[in-house]
Structures are given as structure tokens and as C-alpha cells.
Amino acid sequence: MTIKKNEELKDTLIIIPCLNEEAHIAHLLEWLTSEYQDKGATIIVADGGSTDSTITIIKDIASRNPSLKYLHNPKKLQSAAVNLAVKEYSNGKKYLIRIDAHSKYPKDYCSKLIEEAEKIDCDSITVSMLSIGSDGFQMLAALAQNSKLGNGGSVHRLLSEGQYVDHGHHALMKIEAFSAVGGYDETYSHNEDAELDIRLRQANFKIWHTATTFIEYFPRDNPARLFRQYVSYGKGRAKSYLKHKYKLKLRQLLPIMVFPAAVLALIGVFTNIILALPFVLWLLASVLLALDLAIKEKKIAGFFAIFPAVIMHFSWSFGFWAGLFLEKLKNDK
């Protein structure tokens, strides 16, 4: 199918959920409007009630760019933001492209996604996320997230080849498929993308991971923020597991057991030290993977990436078990 250059995105909604993004939103919107408004795209910023200057920035840029629309998202969550944008602006549109304010995108990102969608038999396209950090803890977290030490071999955390997948970082989706399964579950603050992918697969929709483009992601820049983020991820995964009762993969089962292993180790200190063995084995495996990363990267920082990796493993596991407990309490009421 041949698409005229000035019309290549006329069937596309570009949706940006955001909340208090004054540090990033101007640069992001200037790129999107300069690159895509002349190609027919409709660009929606669904803001969850920012208290900084984000809304002022959005409205200022929108006043100069008719393709850019501001949309208030009263439910605040990203899942609700995308659902609302689709509800309000999807009439006559074929695709939605989700853009996250905390990431960095190649200039031709949206065009590459549309080209892939027109060539491949699929209903959703995911992309790889390459973590980048300026210095200090953020740099170590990026090293961990880009390696098996931190990502366990997840396809969308690597620069992977094009392939059909069960899940990945959401980039483009056919609005027909998105709407057919009910969009994002708005009870999710995290993991809404993985949960939606379960429903897409159950409805026999196809998810394609593209190798034609990728995004750069900025990890949390301190241990406390990284810990809270991965606790939320763990809770979201537990919620999806209870909702759909699917079979967990080995790369998910192993980190799930980190928190129970830590509890056993603590008990073992006072009872039988052999109980600490699973926890010790996890630490040893982390050390070996960190050494391997340092060798591959040819820099000592690779080894120190073990610290954010351990935080990610432990907090994700803690969040998963806390999520199971909280969901059970909710269901028992």
C-alpha cells in the first residue's frame, strides 16, 4: 500500500499520557508537531491534573499547532488517559500510537511504526526499550536494565529482531483491536500494558515486536524511586495473574521467589542457617551476572550494576506478594 507522505499519519492518533512533566513535555511536543502535524496526525496530550507548568506549556504549543489537542484526564492514570483519548478522538482513525513523556524517540519513530503496520499481519506493535542514564545511580540502573542481570532476557528490553510476541512495550495498536477487547483496564496503575496483551491474545489478535525502531528510556535516578516503581510493577503483575490465571514464565518465577527467599534467610539466622541457601544462591547468581556484564562492557561500572538489579528483583518480588495479599483481602470483603 502506497501512502502519500503528507497523508501517512492521517488515520493515526498519537496519544501522550502525562502528569507533572514540565521538564520533558515541551521538547517532546515540539518534536511531534514539527515532524507529524503536516502528515495528518492528530496529537492528544491527556493530562492527569498537573500541578506544575505542564498544562500551560501544552496549551501554549497547542495554540500554535492545530493538530495538537489538550485533554483533561480526571482519573489521572495512564490507562484511563489512553482510553479517554480513543473515546474522544478515534472516529475515522485506524491506529493509535502511545508516546510516554519519560522516553526519547527517534525522529522517524511514528513513520516507521506505520510502515511496519502496513507490511506485517498484526494488530499491535511493540518496540525495544534501551535504557540510558547520564551518570551515577541512573547509569548503573540503565546498565542493569539493558542486560540479563536486570531484565531476565525480556524481548522488549533487548534490541531484538522482528518477531511475534506475547507482550512488549506498547507502541502502535489498531484501534479496532484495542476497542474490541475493551481498551486498558483502568483499575491498573502499572502493568496495564501486559494485562491488555493477555486479552488481545485471548481474542486471537497478533502482537508483533518490531526491529525497525526503538525508544530510549530514562530509569529512576535514585534507589528509593526505583524501589517504589518496581513494587508497583510487582503488584500489577500479581493483579494480572489473579485475573487471568496464566502460566508464569521461568524468568518471572525466579524473581518472584526473591522475597520469600529473603524471609527464609532471616528465619534461618535464628533457627537453621540452611534456610538461607536460596537467598545466597540468588546473590551468587547476581554477582556472576554482574561480573559477566562488567567483562562484556569492559568497565567496572558493569559490576556495580548489581546494586540497582538487586533492588529491582527484591522490590518486584515484594510487590508481587504484597499484591497477592491485598487482592485477596479485597476479594474476601
pTM: 0.88
Q: Dump the DSSP string for 204-228.
A: T--EEEEEEEEEEE---SSHHHHHH
Question: Do 316 and 250 share a structural domain?
Answer: yes
Average pLDDT over residues 61-74: 93
- Average confidence (pLDDT) over 80-96: 95
Residues 153 and 300 in one domain: no
333 pLDDT higher than 70: no
User: Mean pLDDT of all residues in the chain?
Assistant: 91
Model confidence at 2, in pLDDT bands (50, 70, 90)? very low
Q: Which residues contact 191 (CB under 8 A, 6 or more apart)?
A: 233, 235, 236, 237, 239, 240
| pLDDT the model gives residue 152 | 73
Number of domains in the chain: 2
Percentage of the chain beyond pLDDT 90 is: 71
Residues 27, 159 within the same domain: yes
Q: Is the confidence at residue 6, as pLDDT, over 70?
A: no
* 3 pLDDT tier (thresholds 50, 70, 90): very low
14 domain residue, yes or no: yes
Query: What was the pLDDT predicted at 157?
Result: 66
Q: Are residues 22 and 149 in the same domain?
A: yes
Q: What CATH number corresponds to the domain at position 42?
A: 3.90.550.10
Per-residue model confidence (pLDDT) at position 121: 95
pLDDT for position 251: 77
Q: What per-residue confidence (pLDDT) applies to 135?
A: 82
Per-residue pLDDT at 158: 67
- The verdict on 64 and 205 lying in the same domain is yes
Q: What is the pLDDT of residue 4?
A: 46
Cβ neighbours for 259, distance < 8 A, ≥ 6 positions apart? 314, 317, 318, 320, 321
Question: For residue 274, what are the domain limits?
Answer: 242-332
- Residues 44, 180: one domain? yes
> Binning pLDDT at 50, 70 and 90, where does residue 9 land?
confident
Q: List, for residues 219-270, the tens digit of each pLDDT value.
A: 999 999 999 999 999 999 999 999 998 888 887 888 999 999 999 999 999 9
The answer on 255 and 155 residing in a single domain is: no
Interatomic CA distance for residues 198 and 130, integer angstroms: 24
